[in-house]
């Protein structure tokens, strides 16, 4: 497998968002805060757009990870 061949510590190509690979910076923190604010608003819908592989799913997963456990989110 490529993980052994390239001596990687984790599988880099999975079907799950890789939230652990975010580099902390102002743009990421601002985006997470805005998504979080939208998710906490009553009866809200958020649409995150961008090209393939830019981190849309990982960004949304990171924002959802900041919410309290009782918050219900439908990620479609």
Q: Where are the domains of the chain?
A: 2-65
Residue 19: the pLDDT is 66
Least confident of 35-39, 64-68, 71-75: 71-75
Determine the pLDDT at residue 26.
95
pLDDT (0 to 100) of residue 29: 93
With CA atoms as reference, report the closest residue to 38 among 28, 46, 30. 46
Which pLDDT does position 31 carry in this prediction? 93
Q: What is the arithmetic mean of pLDDT over 44-71? A: 88
Summarize pLDDT for 13-53 with one digit per residue, the tens.
667 766 666 777 899 899 999 999 998 898 888 899 999 88
As a whole number of angstroms, the distance between CA 13 and CA 45 comes to 28
Query: What's the CA gap between 23 and 3, in Å, rounded?
Result: 22
């Amino acid at each position: 497998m490529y993980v052994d061949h390239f001596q990687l510590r984790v599988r880099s190509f999975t079907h799950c968002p890789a939230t652990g690979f975010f580099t902390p910076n102002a743009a990421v923190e601002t985006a997470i805060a805005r998504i979080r604010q939208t998710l906490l608003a009553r009866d809200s819908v958020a649409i995150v757009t961008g090209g393939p592989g830019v981190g849309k799913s990982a960004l949304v997963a990171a924002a959802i990870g900041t919410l309290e456990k009782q918050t219900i989110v439908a990620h479609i």
